[in-house]
Chain A
Amino acid sequence: DSGVTQTPKHLITATGQRVTLRCSPRSGDLSVYWYQQSLDQGLQFLIQYYNGEERAKGNILERFSAQQFPDLHSELNLSSLELGDSALYFCASSVRPNSPLHFGNGTRLTVT
């Protein structure tokens, strides 16, 4: 158990809809990262937050947004969903930005 909690585990929704993925980092970790893993792809970095502030952006679409709240949990919002957004979405946390990441078990999103 990494200590990183992601909910829900599975999500099935239709194209055009909006969903919110939730992540609770390990106790004491201030950095939260979001990654997307599509079929046969590596982990694609989406966005990073540190202590409530956005720190780095990766290949995150404009239809996607995220935030980190004062209690350090984070949410990833995906809107105007397309079939290609179907993927595993992982959240990871670390004590500080250069520390190894601890991943949650992911949310599997299926867009039909």
Chain B
Amino acid sequence: DQQVKQNSPSLSVQEGRISILNCDYTNSMFDYFLWYKKYPAEGPTFLISISSIKDKNEDGRFTVFLNKSAKHLSLHIVPSQPGDSAVYFCAARLQAIRQGGSEKLVFGKGTKLTVNP
């Protein structure tokens, strides 16, 4: 059962335009959401995050929007640059059930973004 879904395996956009990457989740207990970017032959790197009590977080060209009622979040990249071409993973955090327990981070399968010059 996949709790975090990225339904678009790939996305292609033109340089300078907006890239919108989408992510849906099923578990309403997720309290924190993160986006990671991964280049070939490298590990994922943290990009931006958002708490479940917010609906928007912005960091430079990157903005993450959260719609809790729809259990949907999206990552907007404006303007897109060729260097943004990578695989983007959406991740959701499940808080520990008990005190002293550990949280769990659930990843989607990723969306490969290609930004064409």
Contacts and interface: CB of A to CB of B under 8 A. Distances in A.
Do A and B belong to a common assembly? yes
Contacts of B101: 56
A54 to B, nearest CB: 9
A33 B91 CA distance: 15
Contacts of A103: 36, 43-45
Contacts of B110: 42
Interface string B92-104: 0100000001111
A90 B109 contact: no
A2 B102 contact: no
Interface in B60-98: 89, 91, 93
Contact of B104 (A4, A58, A101, A104): A58
Interface in A46-96: 48, 50, 55-56, 58, 90, 92
Given A45-B105, A92-B43, 17 more contacts: A2-B43, A2-B45, A33-B105, A35-B107, A42-B2, A42-B4, A42-B6, A43-B107, A58-B104, A100-B46, A101-B44, A101-B46, A102-B45, A105-B41, A105-B42, A105-B43, A106-B43
B41 A102 contact: no
Contact of B43 (A48, A50, A100, A104): A104
Interface residues of A, number: 26
A107 B109 CA distance: 18
Contacts of B45: 2, 102-103
A106 B39 CA distance: 12
Nearest to A106: B43
A34 to B, nearest CB: 12
A50 B105 contact: no
A2 B105 CA distance: 19
Among B43, B45, B46, B102: residue with most chain A CB under 10 A: B43
Contacts of B104: 45, 56, 58
